[in-house]
Amino acid sequence: MEDLTRRVVDSTSLEPSIAKAAIGHVLLFLRDKAPGSHVDEFIDKMRGAREAVAAAQAADDGGVTQAIEGLTSFMGHGRADLNILVGKLGNLGLTEAQSARLIEEMVDRAKALIGDEGVAKIRAILPALAERSGVMPQQPGATSETRPRA
Protein backbone atom coordinates (compact mmCIF):
# COMPACT_ATOMS: atom_id res chain seq x y z
CA MET A 1 0.00 0.00 0.00
CA GLU A 2 2.84 2.36 0.82
CA ASP A 3 4.45 1.71 -2.58
CA LEU A 4 1.16 2.34 -4.38
CA THR A 5 0.52 5.47 -2.34
CA ARG A 6 4.00 6.78 -3.16
CA ARG A 7 3.48 6.08 -6.88
CA VAL A 8 0.10 7.83 -6.85
CA VAL A 9 1.60 10.83 -5.02
CA ASP A 10 4.45 11.00 -7.55
CA SER A 11 2.14 10.82 -10.57
CA THR A 12 -0.66 13.06 -9.27
CA SER A 13 1.02 15.52 -6.86
CA LEU A 14 -1.63 14.67 -4.25
CA GLU A 15 -0.87 14.77 -0.55
CA PRO A 16 -0.15 11.25 0.75
CA SER A 17 -3.23 11.22 3.00
CA ILE A 18 -5.47 12.21 0.07
CA ALA A 19 -3.86 9.62 -2.21
CA LYS A 20 -4.38 6.89 0.39
CA ALA A 21 -8.02 7.91 0.88
CA ALA A 22 -8.61 7.89 -2.89
CA ILE A 23 -7.03 4.44 -3.20
CA GLY A 24 -9.31 3.23 -0.42
CA HIS A 25 -12.40 4.53 -2.20
CA VAL A 26 -11.43 2.88 -5.50
CA LEU A 27 -10.64 -0.42 -3.76
CA LEU A 28 -13.99 -0.27 -1.96
CA PHE A 29 -15.76 0.38 -5.28
CA LEU A 30 -13.96 -2.53 -6.95
CA ARG A 31 -14.60 -4.85 -4.02
CA ASP A 32 -18.30 -4.00 -3.99
CA LYS A 33 -18.55 -4.55 -7.76
CA ALA A 34 -16.82 -7.95 -7.66
CA PRO A 35 -17.00 -9.47 -4.17
CA GLY A 36 -14.97 -12.64 -3.65
CA SER A 37 -12.89 -12.05 -6.76
CA HIS A 38 -9.39 -11.03 -7.75
CA VAL A 39 -10.10 -7.69 -6.11
CA ASP A 40 -10.03 -9.41 -2.71
CA GLU A 41 -6.76 -11.09 -3.68
CA PHE A 42 -5.33 -7.69 -4.67
CA ILE A 43 -6.43 -6.19 -1.34
CA ASP A 44 -5.06 -9.14 0.63
CA LYS A 45 -1.65 -8.92 -1.02
CA MET A 46 -1.23 -5.22 -0.31
CA ARG A 47 -0.42 -4.55 3.35
CA GLY A 48 -2.54 -1.68 4.63
CA ALA A 49 -5.17 -1.96 1.89
CA ARG A 50 -7.85 -3.45 4.18
CA GLU A 51 -7.43 -0.47 6.51
CA ALA A 52 -7.75 1.96 3.58
CA VAL A 53 -10.95 0.22 2.46
CA ALA A 54 -12.33 0.32 6.01
CA ALA A 55 -11.52 4.03 6.27
CA ALA A 56 -13.24 4.69 2.94
CA GLN A 57 -16.26 2.71 4.09
CA ALA A 58 -16.45 4.68 7.33
CA ALA A 59 -16.02 8.09 5.67
CA ASP A 60 -19.10 10.26 6.15
CA ASP A 61 -20.22 12.25 3.11
CA GLY A 62 -23.05 14.09 4.82
CA GLY A 63 -25.75 11.73 3.54
CA VAL A 64 -25.05 12.28 -0.16
CA THR A 65 -24.43 8.58 -0.77
CA GLN A 66 -27.68 7.59 0.92
CA ALA A 67 -29.62 10.18 -1.10
CA ILE A 68 -28.19 8.94 -4.40
CA GLU A 69 -28.78 5.31 -3.42
CA GLY A 70 -32.37 6.17 -2.52
CA LEU A 71 -32.96 7.83 -5.88
CA THR A 72 -31.38 4.97 -7.80
CA SER A 73 -33.33 2.25 -6.02
CA PHE A 74 -36.05 2.95 -8.58
CA MET A 75 -33.83 2.25 -11.59
CA GLY A 76 -31.00 0.00 -10.41
CA HIS A 77 -27.51 0.96 -9.31
CA GLY A 78 -24.82 0.62 -12.02
CA ARG A 79 -24.07 4.19 -13.05
CA ALA A 80 -25.12 5.59 -9.69
CA ASP A 81 -22.41 3.59 -7.92
CA LEU A 82 -19.91 5.02 -10.37
CA ASN A 83 -21.19 8.56 -9.84
CA ILE A 84 -20.88 8.10 -6.08
CA LEU A 85 -17.23 7.07 -6.48
CA VAL A 86 -16.47 9.94 -8.86
CA GLY A 87 -18.14 12.30 -6.39
CA LYS A 88 -16.06 10.95 -3.50
CA LEU A 89 -12.85 11.37 -5.50
CA GLY A 90 -13.94 14.88 -6.44
CA ASN A 91 -14.69 15.68 -2.80
CA LEU A 92 -11.13 14.63 -1.99
CA GLY A 93 -10.01 17.24 -4.53
CA LEU A 94 -8.98 14.92 -7.38
CA THR A 95 -9.25 16.27 -10.90
CA GLU A 96 -10.25 14.01 -13.79
CA ALA A 97 -6.59 13.72 -14.81
CA GLN A 98 -5.56 12.78 -11.27
CA SER A 99 -8.35 10.19 -11.10
CA ALA A 100 -7.16 8.69 -14.38
CA ARG A 101 -3.56 8.49 -13.14
CA LEU A 102 -4.78 6.95 -9.89
CA ILE A 103 -6.55 4.21 -11.86
CA GLU A 104 -3.49 3.59 -14.05
CA GLU A 105 -1.23 3.24 -11.00
CA MET A 106 -3.70 0.88 -9.33
CA VAL A 107 -3.90 -1.31 -12.44
CA ASP A 108 -0.09 -1.41 -12.65
CA ARG A 109 0.19 -2.41 -8.98
CA ALA A 110 -2.53 -5.04 -9.36
CA LYS A 111 -0.65 -6.57 -12.28
CA ALA A 112 2.49 -6.84 -10.17
CA LEU A 113 0.60 -8.48 -7.29
CA ILE A 114 -2.03 -10.70 -8.94
CA GLY A 115 -0.89 -11.09 -12.55
CA ASP A 116 -2.53 -10.64 -15.92
CA GLU A 117 -5.61 -12.79 -15.27
CA GLY A 118 -6.51 -10.88 -12.12
CA VAL A 119 -5.89 -7.54 -13.78
CA ALA A 120 -8.13 -8.52 -16.70
CA LYS A 121 -10.99 -9.07 -14.27
CA ILE A 122 -10.33 -5.76 -12.55
CA ARG A 123 -10.15 -3.97 -15.90
CA ALA A 124 -13.56 -5.36 -16.73
CA ILE A 125 -14.91 -3.25 -13.86
CA LEU A 126 -12.90 -0.12 -14.70
CA PRO A 127 -14.10 0.92 -18.20
CA ALA A 128 -17.18 2.65 -16.81
CA LEU A 129 -15.04 4.58 -14.35
CA ALA A 130 -12.50 5.46 -17.01
CA GLU A 131 -15.26 6.46 -19.44
CA ARG A 132 -16.83 8.70 -16.79
CA SER A 133 -13.50 10.40 -16.10
CA GLY A 134 -12.77 10.81 -19.83
CA VAL A 135 -9.79 8.45 -19.88
CA MET A 136 -9.79 4.83 -20.96
CA PRO A 137 -7.75 2.42 -18.80
CA GLN A 138 -4.45 1.42 -20.33
CA GLN A 139 -4.45 -1.96 -22.07
CA PRO A 140 -1.30 -4.10 -22.14
CA GLY A 141 1.20 -2.60 -24.57
CA ALA A 142 -0.91 0.50 -25.20
CA THR A 143 -0.34 4.09 -24.21
CA SER A 144 -2.77 6.29 -22.30
CA GLU A 145 -5.38 7.93 -24.44
CA THR A 146 -7.45 10.89 -23.40
CA ARG A 147 -10.91 10.97 -24.91
CA PRO A 148 -13.21 13.97 -24.85
CA ARG A 149 -16.39 13.35 -22.92
CA ALA A 150 -19.55 13.31 -25.01
User: Which tens digits make up the pLDDT trace of 64-90?
Assistant: 555 545 544 444 445 566 778 888 899
Contact at 8 Å (CB) between 91 and 61? yes
Q: How much is the mean pLDDT over the chain? A: 78
* 148 vs 126, more confident: 126
The predicted model scores a pTM of 0.76
Which residue intervals of 13-142 are DSSP H helices? 16-33, 38-44, 49-58, 64-72, 79-91, 96-125, 127-133
The pLDDT value recorded for residue 36 is 78
Q: Mind listing the pLDDT tens digit for each residue in 28-65? A: 989 988 877 889 999 999 999 999 999 998 875 554 55
Give dist(CA 101, CA 5) in Å, integer. 12
* 68 vs 5, more confident: 5
Residue 150 has pLDDT above 50, yes or no: no
CB atoms within 10 A of CB 10: 12
The pLDDT value recorded for residue 12 is 96
Length of the chain: 150
Q: Strand pairing partners for 5?
A: none
The amino acid at residue 96 is: E
